[in-house]
């Protein structure tokens, strides 16, 4: 059976949703969208600038609009923003219309990835390494109860992007065949 719903990848910032999503969508021959990039393109601003200029609530409403728009589409894979699945209205639309997959990556890997590009992330850009570690722990603790509600959890620890993409793709193909 082919999944009759669009797929959304959820999980912490830095878990690989965008990179893995793009690769998996290509293998599935599906359209790939990154919700953050869609908002940035619409606003012609970076996520950081949108947060600074309009605030997080504005950004979260834009995320909701994207999921609402794509909720009835087929053959589409969306990489969600790290916090979108934890916003009530966005969570409800994802749970009803999408097949959600939590890409679960451990704290140390998240730290190493985010340390490299924290300046692009509004919630992290002013933190030193200790502050970054604390913030990652805090966010992971806050969001775990949301992420655990995804339709599927895929643990991706100590794997290359290629291995993680292959594992995610095989999990989706397996779900399609059930």
The domain that holds 56 is classified in CATH as 3.40.50.300
Range of the structural domain that residue 164 is part of: 7-176
Q: Rounded to the nearest 5°, which phi and psi values hold at 161?
A: -60, -40
2 part of a folded domain? no
Neighbours of 91 (CB within 10 A): 18
Rounded Cα gap, residues 152 and 113, in angstroms: 23
Does pTM top 0.75 for this prediction? yes
24 has pLDDT over 50 = yes
The pLDDT assigned to 1 comes to: 39
The answer to whether residue 100 sits within a structural domain is yes
Whole-number pLDDT of residue 163: 93
Would 115 be classed as within a structural domain?
A: yes
Domains contained in the chain, number:
1
State residue 175's pLDDT score.
Answer: 80
**pLDDT at res. 123:** 67
Collect all residues with Cβ–Cβ distance below 8 Å to 142 and sequence separation of at least 6. 86
Q: What is the pLDDT of residue 94?
A: 96
How does 62-72 read in b/e, with b if 16+ C-beta sit within 10 Å? bbbbbbeebbe
Sheet (strand 152-155) strand order: 31-34, 76-79, 7-10, 99-104, 152-155
């Amino acid at each position: 059976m082919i999944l009759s719903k669009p797929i959304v990848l959820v999980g912490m910032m830095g878990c690989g949703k965008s990179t893995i999503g793009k690769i998996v969508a290509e293998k599935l021959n599906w359209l790939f969208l990154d919700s953050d990039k869609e908002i940035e393109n619409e606003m012609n601003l970076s996520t950081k600038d949108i947060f600074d200029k309009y605030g997080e609530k504005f950004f979260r409403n834009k995320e909701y609009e994207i999921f609402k728009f794509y909720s009835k589409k087929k053959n589409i894979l969306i990489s969600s923003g790290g916090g979108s699945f934890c916003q009530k209205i966005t969570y409800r639309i994802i749970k009803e219309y999408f097949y959600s997959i939590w890409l679960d990556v451990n704290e140390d890997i998240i730290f190493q990835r985010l340390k490299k590009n924290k300046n692009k992330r509004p919630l992290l850009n002013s933190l030193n390494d200790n502050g970054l570690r604390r913030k990652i722990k805090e966010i992971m603790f806050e969001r775990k109860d949301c992420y655990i509600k995804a339709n599927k959890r895929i643990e991706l620890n100590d794997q290359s992007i290629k291995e993680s993409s292959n594992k995610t793709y095989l999990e989706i193909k397996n779900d399609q065949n059930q």
